[in-house]
Structure 1
């Protein structure tokens, strides 16, 4: 079944999509709005990227509040939020036909980011210091995969403090209704991906 789409230009004033720029406990550090990403240049153009569907935004606010309770002064640092389909196609073209294709959703299926229902996020402490999670964002290695964490720990490639920070992030996000994926410690989805693709608008 083809996905139902909405143009990015129409989303900017749509009541279902809201800005997360002023959300308490959140810092936006959107990597595809800069050159600090695996492509190596800015992908978002004039779009600032700081939008989510209101359901995901509400859950993110809850996760930030939970983190504050656990670690006063800490914040969630958002690395990516709503990602238009036009940008997803650029990422897909870069990895298609390579071993890295497993890390980028085929735009024909629709990335959950393109529905405004996924967020990439890490932790920063009360001094604004981004925390060491064992890898950088968009690291295409086994070390970035939650499914491999115990093996990486046993092999000495992941430290206990790095794992504890990942577990803290995961616990805050899960308590707020998000769930992670097996291949990326930073990626969280606000609902079941099948339900999202069947019921929500994909932003082009």
Structure 2
């Protein structure tokens, strides 16, 4: 159990609605759908209404500093079934990458692999008290696109299982590339936290507003977005 999962939830009942994609840059095709994940009647590009409003505000602030730049949305709403799909997919990917056979692994070796998976992926819990952040419609994975339509190199890929995923990985780099990566991550963090989002402590791309992680980070007594029940 993660520390933030001890935060109680009192869902405010706010609607999960479609993101106005014409306002943003969007990952197409969606990376998890491309792998075979099914979102049912929803799409990955849904969020709670206030979260969308705040995301629009963040982009407005970004464009005041950098004309023509956009927030690039990689992923947003994620039903628990999709969370489970991606957790299983990542575990299988690690097995293949390391050339391992599941049947030949000891329980300790399997546990070590699962711990690597859960460095990035939340447990796909069906417990309404411990929802995966993305299953609340209050978390979004993003990066930045410049006025030439190019994604900024952040020094690591979204969902990358490595130390480079930590937001401050490049904080003490002295080479020019490392400094640029850190500056870009800090810019992304600034435009999001300026409007109320908070960044995942271990992922430079993940931001949330109103869920358990956000409440825990901001020392609030309660989260107001829980799992979307029909998702």
Question: Unaligned stretches of 5+ in structure 1?
Answer: 6-13, 36-40
Match of 1:105 in 2: 122
The Cα RMSD (Å) is 2.8
Q: 1:57 aligns with which of 52, 57, 60?
A: 52
Q: Cα gap change, 1:72/1:126 in structure 2, threshold over 3 Å: closer, same or farther? A: same
Within 1, Cα distance between the matches of 2:39 and 2:132? 19
Within 1, Cα distance between the matches of 2:193 and 2:36? 30
In the superposition, the TM-score normalised over structure 1's length comes to: 0.79
Within 2, Cα distance between the matches of 1:73 and 1:157? 25
Question: Unaligned stretches of 5+ in structure 2?
Answer: 1-5, 92-110, 217-221
Task: Encode CA deviations 1:63-122: one digit per residue, 9 max, x unaligned.
Answer: 111110111100000000111111011123345642222211112222111010000000
Within 2, Cα distance between the matches of 1:165 and 1:158? 11
State how many pairs are aligned: 188
Q: Is the 8 A contact 1:95 1:101 kept in 2?
A: no
Flag the structure with larger Rg.
2
Q: Cα gap change, 1:177/1:4 in structure 2, threshold over 3 Å: closer, same or farther? A: closer
Q: Cα gap change, 1:159/1:142 in structure 2, threshold over 3 Å: closer, same or farther? A: same
Q: Cα gap change, 1:22/1:100 in structure 2, threshold over 3 Å: closer, same or farther? A: closer
Q: 1:171 aligns with which of 186, 190, 198?
A: 190
1:46-195 superposed matches below 5 A: 47-95=42-90, 97=111, 98=113, 99-108=116-125, 109-151=130-172, 153-154=173-174, 159-193=178-212, 195=215
